[in-house]
Amino acid sequence: MFHKEGYKIIVIATFIVGIGIILIDSFISISWLNKLLAICFLLFYVIILQFFRNPKRNTQLNDNVIIAPVDGKVVVIEEVFEKEYFKDKRLQVSIFMSPLNVHVTRYPVSGEVIFSAYHPGKYLVAWHPKASEENERTTIVIKNNVIGEILYRQIAGALAKRIVNYAKPQMQVVQGTDAGFIKFGSRVDLFLPLNATIKVNLNDKVTGGEQIIAIL
């Protein structure tokens, strides 16, 4: 199953690979070179397909927990001052996605979207300390009736050139469902209340839509 954001790119990649293999067979008579180039085209195609995969996730709906919005590795767990929306101290949990991870963004909680903003910016590597404030990014706040307001931020990385965000103000969203997509590697930051009990550790690999990040 592939994400809808990849359909156009997959069609283009299919065309390029098909034409490329036809041209290789037509104009390159050296057997080893012919096979090598064909393998390179096929590897390129497999990478594109893998990047846009969208596996189903079994989300256990629970208003007392915040789940991972994306697949990846936990690279930050710290208390910070969140200055865009809350303007107070929060617990930040950041998840880094490599190009090999699933890049679908999923809602970490159910509730009403009360804030959604896009910010153009740089393309620093996603683990750079200033990436959260200087890179291209979106900021989304969801109000949950049990745990209050949760903020998550999609952040572009050095390779990511497009952030897709489906969250719009006044939308009612369901935990674990499709919230967007970030193309070609990046990170997502969660900003949680200080009384949240974090259930992951640094360098843990998490599964979006399923794994519990914190409990309130």
Catalytic positions, written as ranges: 186
Is 172 in contact with 111 (CB distance < 8 Å)?
yes
Cα 185 → chain centroid: 8
Residue 178 β-bridge partners: 106
Contacting residues for 50 by C-beta, under 8 A, at least 6 apart: 100
Comparing CA positions, the residue from 69, 44, 32 lying closest to residue 189 is 69
**d(Cα 160, Cα 136) in Å, to the nearest integer?**
9
- 3-state SS string over 125-180? CCCCCCHHHHECEEEEEEEECCCEEEEEEEEECCCCCEEEECCCCCCEECCCCEEE
Q: Indicate the residue type of 134.
A: E
Please report the sign of the dihedral spanned by the C-alpha atoms of residue 213, residue 55, residue 139, residue 121. positive
Backbone φ and ψ for 134, nearest 5 degrees, come out as -115, -20
